[in-house]
Structure 1
């Protein structure tokens, strides 16, 4: 999802929420890129371009009106809301756990894990001038009710920082434990096999995301083939790895949280 991060940033559309390759499109441009996710524009990380006839186009969904910045990944950072075409930090006093539940859900993350002012920097520039009053079930933060502050309770440098748990979109199946088995990821409404020809780094990320400790072993999976994931090993979740739409053999992972031998 590194290229997707750059696309959303370049378009000033918040954080990436999802990416897919849904259907065939018209002729276009195929990009060969090596983004690290921190570039300002896609042009900065594209190494080659090819003209192609037909094929699949890349579909990206960005959060548009809310984002988490200066965190370790897509699910942590300082909360910012888009207001009048500019981004504003949110004061800790104007934001509670129910508001956090909506933000985490909107960004495709799990439940809130930590909520604290100044956790990811105090924020610079504009500050959101209203108090959110979410019920926790809204789909978007800007769908929540808001109210004006009764008094100025926003202290300087106290922009709210939020850490959401990683999404529950990865599982290990067929190994007798949640910490061992074939890797699957929930993608476009179904569980799909994850495969790769460079197993180690994918396994590290999977074990980390599942809270299953370190990697004990990685084995070739069954003959089922799945979409590839190319990871550096430092990503907090599998969705932050580079997605490869070419099919690869599935892989089986045993994490240290499970001692059962397959």
Structure 2
């Protein structure tokens, strides 16, 4: 007698499934991911902003420790920029560089995707990485120069906004550029209304973070999240036009673009 086949996973993933998927795929934290199906991907990407908040708070803590030990704003800024990279094994930065190489090549979609999949980094990727990391460090240094709390809020806002745009890019109607990989696993997994509602909620939460400093900072933090979303959407549109959809590299590029935009906006005024 043959054994009965194992039952299929339920059509709806639990909150625990989503949290494990989110932290297991978007960070290096040792989380056992039990499900890799579409319901788990949908639930996981809905938790992506929470992952960003955790990463942002870790970045703020690193900067705060150095400031408490007597360092200046610049070393604290470097630490806060380095922690998100460390917590993601640099995958988002690598995705940013690969996307820059693919888009910068000017080649047709198939060739651009092949360039993005190569392990080496080309001149467009190197230049983009240098400019983005310099912008992040400079922004953190400016904000830590004002106070640790402003730098900490900026880290939280940037982390939230950066992962919320990843959820937004997973909305239905945004196709994968190639079959296979994380991009194909999560592309189109989140209902569009839910994704946009979560993006709006993220803007409100970021505004709430800034409210600790007054009404002006509440507006500024909300605007930082809003403009970060707009910048990521412009990049997403470009990737859809040039590549035909999203890949794992594109998600990394969206994340870093949003984080950098949010940080730069927070230095204004």
TM-score in terms of structure 1 length: 0.27
- Name the one with the larger helix percent: 2
